Structure 1
Amino acid sequence: MPLTNNEIDYVKETLRNSLRNKMKNYNPEPASMPFHTRLLGKDRLALYSFIHSLNTNFGTSIFEPVALALAKGRFKNAKIKADAGSYISEYAQKTIQNIIDGLTAAKILPDKEREIESIRQVCKVGQMNKVKLTKVDIFIESFDDEIYMFDLKTAKPNIGEFKGFKRTLLEWVAAYLAENPNGKIHTCIAIPYNPYEPEPYNRWTMRGMLDIDNELLVASELWNFLGDEGAYENILDCFESVGVELRSEIDEYFAKFKL
């Protein structure tokens, strides 16, 4: 089902506010680049710098609130920047390390269901250690009491980062199960768009560390999960519509950087 009119209005307003706030508060770095400036022009360099800066907070200022709005319309509970839990048992920590070591050495293949069950078996065994975990970017509870925790990432994560991503996902599982041993839990890397379109997302770099079918949602997989079928295209249309609407404001903003 496509987004409702209220959801579309919310997405557009989020985009308008984010872009206008960015233009109001953004100050380009004062670094001198005389060759680049003379070749390309100060306004083009300012635009490049602005886009780069915007990319760094796209997740928190746009993707997360949009995801929250969609999920609230479809699930029992949804929130952003949530805590997975505060304690992990010492045996769960050992189990997580064994999983990471096995995956790193290619002695085992990623299997999220098996990994969750192995952590569940020891989620309260041994000393309970207090931990400070990475915040859950998007936390969702379904009407069937299943929990989904998403770690929102940039479109092209570095291959060397996946070991850390995997540990985060497993630690969330351990912390949640420490408080809810029988709970149904899913933890996943969420990537808002596919930079390789129209080609499929280049998933092979994650194989061997992530269970691709159960630990990764990319582009339409993510947005359609949050907001139902058709949500991804609806959101893209919202971005285009707001871009057209604010074009004159954007042009006026960057005109002041011309030499």
Structure 2
Amino acid sequence: MTLTKEQIEKIENTIKESLKNKFLSYNPETSNMPFHYRLLGRDRMALFSFIHSLNTTFGTSIFEPVAEALASLRFPVAKKQFVVGDTISEQAQNEIQHIINELTIGKNPDKLEEVERIRKVATFGNINKLKTVKVDLFVKSKDNTVYMFDLKTAKPNISNFKDFKRTLLEWVAIYLLKYPNASICSCIAIPYNPYEPKPYERWTLKGMLDLDNELKVAEEFWDFLGGEGSYLELLDCFERVGVELRPEIDKYFSKFK
């Protein structure tokens, strides 16, 4: 798929708006660093601080709105920070714990089987109240298949993958409580491959995640949302926006000299 001129404009406007909103909300660190200031300059230190701040919030401030904009060009429904719900059945919670226990002792993950196991008990037993649960990106296809994405940093902490898996399964259970016949998939999305040109080290995620059905990395994720070739076109969009906004960015940080 090649993005149209109008689609590219929509995505680039989303990138610009997201970056400008980040500038508006950004407050440089006020800690005194006299040696750094004299060696590198306050403007460079302010830029460094901004990049660090941007890195920690890139998912919510940049990737989520861009993913929403890209997916909306291809899917009937695409929403970031989508509220899945705040209730889950007790039997579904128990089944999720059984699944986690089995994976912990070596059972191979099978997301399709896990979803069906949860579906069978999703509406049975006591209904427990939860804190309102949101997904980073919610997408529904033309055939009404639901996809829920948890956007992670490029190098997520491996020690947390049991928690990530539980989150993906709980999203399924919460949604199936309301829509028990839904066709549904919940996934981890990693926006880019930090090891490129080498393959992403998927083996680090093996054991808890069904790598074929619960993980999309770089091209897999963006091309799923926008169609084949979207990842490369998206990189071009970011580059063009960067070139266009460079004078504005330089002007912003020049005030810190």
Deviation at 1:88, TM superposition (A): 1.5
Structure 1 Cα separation of the partners of residues 159 and 224 of structure 2 = 28
Letter in 2 for 1:243: G
Letter in 2 for 1:41: G
Match of 1:57 in 2: 57
The reply on whether 1:12 has 2:12 as its aligned counterpart is yes
Match of 2:37 in 1: 37
Q: Percent identity?
A: 63
Deviation at 1:226, TM superposition (A): 0.5
Match of 1:75 in 2: 75
Structure 1 Cα separation of the partners of residues 75 and 19 of structure 2 = 29
Letter in 1 for 2:154: A
Structure 1 Cα separation of the partners of residues 256 and 35 of structure 2 = 16
Letter in 2 for 1:113: L
Deviation at 1:61, TM superposition (A): 2.5
Structure 2 Cα separation of the partners of residues 79 and 111 of structure 1 = 27
The reply on whether 1:229 has 2:225 as its aligned counterpart is no
1:107-146 correspondence to structure 2 within 5 Å = 108-146=107-145
| Residues 73 and 11 of structure 1, relative CA distance in 2, 3 Å threshold | closer
Which digits, 9 at most, give the CA deviation of each residue in 1:233-256, with x for residues without a partner? 111001101111121222222223
- SS of the residue 1:17 aligns to: helix
Structure 2 Cα separation of the partners of residues 111 and 129 of structure 1 = 26
1:94-105 correspondence to structure 2 within 5 Å = 94-105=94-105
- SS of the residue 1:212 aligns to: coil
Which digits, 9 at most, give the CA deviation of each residue in 1:219-243, with x for residues without a partner? 1111110000111111100110111
Which digits, 9 at most, give the CA deviation of each residue in 1:128-174, with x for residues without a partner? 21222531111111111111111111111111121111111000111
The reply on whether 1:251 has 2:250 as its aligned counterpart is yes
Match of 1:186 in 2: 185
Structure 1 Cα separation of the partners of residues 56 and 120 of structure 2 = 39
Quick check: 1:133–1:172 contact (8 Å CA) kept in 2?
no
TM-score, normalization: structure 1?
0.93
Deviation at 1:25, TM superposition (A): 4.0
- SS of the residue 1:136 aligns to: strand
Give the total of aligned pairs: 257
1:171-210 correspondence to structure 2 within 5 Å = 171-210=170-209
- SS of the residue 1:131 aligns to: strand
| Residues 101 and 150 of structure 1, relative CA distance in 2, 3 Å threshold | same
Which digits, 9 at most, give the CA deviation of each residue in 1:109-134, with x for residues without a partner? 11101111111111122112122253
Structure 2 Cα separation of the partners of residues 130 and 37 of structure 1 = 51
Deviation at 1:16, TM superposition (A): 1.9
Structure 1 Cα separation of the partners of residues 10 and 138 of structure 2 = 20
> Over aligned residue pairs, what C-alpha RMSD do you find?
1.6
Structure 1 Cα separation of the partners of residues 35 and 256 of structure 2 = 16
TM-score, normalization: structure 2?
0.94
- SS of the residue 2:131 aligns to: coil
Structure 1 Cα separation of the partners of residues 24 and 114 of structure 2 = 47
Quick check: 2:149–2:187 contact (8 Å CA) kept in 1?
yes
Match of 2:154 in 1: 155
Q: What are the ranges of 5 or more consecutive residues in structure 1 without an aligned counterpart?
A: none
Quick check: 1:152–1:189 contact (8 Å CA) kept in 2?
yes
Structure 2 Cα separation of the partners of residues 216 and 173 of structure 1 = 15
